[in-house]
Structure 1
């Protein structure tokens, strides 16, 4: 029987289960693919939210927004899978993957970033918000767009030591002791934020789903 897509609903289905994440090195760098096992079925999960988490098996409750079939090309032809799109999750435990569990994933997984790029957009392209934030050389002329935090925009345009981080993190800048990343942004930008947080000494607390400075985790 052909699988049918579940209708989208404002109230997600909440089910207990186990999410297995595998980290793969691809041409765009490291990326995560997931497999969610629940009482209602087994699903592939490739949400951007999962980019933040280390490889392993996570127990918890998962908010499934909708389920849909997905086919994509591989080196040997086409691959078909049933995917679950998550609206959130509450994680309670983490175990390492065994070698057999790691091998159970396809040897040629497609990077979700490549899928995002290949998927045609239904709306006209919008110029990235960070691009037009240009500060005038004249301090008496304010060219900051309405709704943009002026201090961050000024730092980003100043060429100072923090300018790259201010542009990368946007409204999250300056970074606090604890923060939660927005997984709805462009996946490539999200990966860059994750990598930079690691360089700055932050670590992810998977239970709270927040990035914390080491001293915050020890508290």
Structure 2
């Protein structure tokens, strides 16, 4: 039987009640978030970029599952297989802290979703060096000014928003980082469809600017919102 090029997926989005458990793990690219969704129809791994904004914990609510697919990825000494759910939306009702056992229930060798995405990109063909009378000096590694284009080589840490704006004004750096979201208002809703590295930089910068993420509204705000007991 010929191998199927794309993973099998559910036909239509479905809405199910459940609990989303998020775990924050520190990797070589900084902290990343992995999730586990427990529902009446099964338990699924969730690694959507949207979840990068949410703190570690257990969230009860209703979840719109866009599709379900099988995924395998390499880990040290072998490979791991899991069934993942891709979310098309969610309504969250409450949050609880993870217990020590719940935190330990996640795999100890979780792969950063950013590395999965970068690993899926084809390697660039190296350009032939131009002939010059003097040895050419290597160009410094720089990130693209366009926040939607990631030009940072794999294995090189992306510059923080502060570093990115070091050559110009902070406002210029923030404008380049946030794109059409700039200037920021009192409330900000990030676009999780942009590349994950840029999304993480936006999240870090919002924290530096005094914004707080509210999981019920699913947006960032300058004013802390009191959660209902």
Shared fold per TM-score greater than 0.5: yes
Show the counterpart of 1:130.
146
2:178 corresponds to which of 169, 190, 207:
169
1:201 and 2:204 are equivalent in the alignment = no
With normalisation by structure 1, the TM-score equals: 0.78
Q: Give unmatched runs, 5+ long, in structure 2.
A: 1-6, 123-143, 148-164
Distance in 1, Cα, partners of 2:77 & 2:71: 17
Show the counterpart of 1:119.
120
Quote the offset at 1:166 in angstroms.
0.4
Deviation digits for residues 39-74 of structure 1 (CA, Å, limit 9, x no counterpart):
000000000000000000000000000000000011
1:8–1:189: structure 2 CA closer, same or farther, 3 Å change rule? farther
Quote the offset at 1:120 in angstroms.
3.6
Distance in 2, Cα, partners of 1:161 & 1:179: 19
Show structure 1 runs of 4+ deviating over 4 A: none
1:5 and 2:21 are equivalent in the alignment = no
Distance in 2, Cα, partners of 1:116 & 1:24: 17
| C-alpha RMSD over aligned residues | 1.9
Show the counterpart of 1:211.
220
- Size of the alignment, in residue pairs? 181
| SS of aligned partner of 2:107 | coil
Choose between structure 1 and 2: higher helix proportion: 1
Q: Give unmatched runs, 5+ long, in structure 1.
A: 122-127, 132-155
Deviation digits for residues 106-155 of structure 1 (CA, Å, limit 9, x no counterpart):
0010000000101147xxxxxx7828xxxxxxxxxxxxxxxxxxxxxxxx
1:191 and 2:192 are equivalent in the alignment = no
With normalisation by structure 2, the TM-score equals: 0.75
1:81 and 2:82 are equivalent in the alignment = yes
| SS of aligned partner of 2:170 | coil
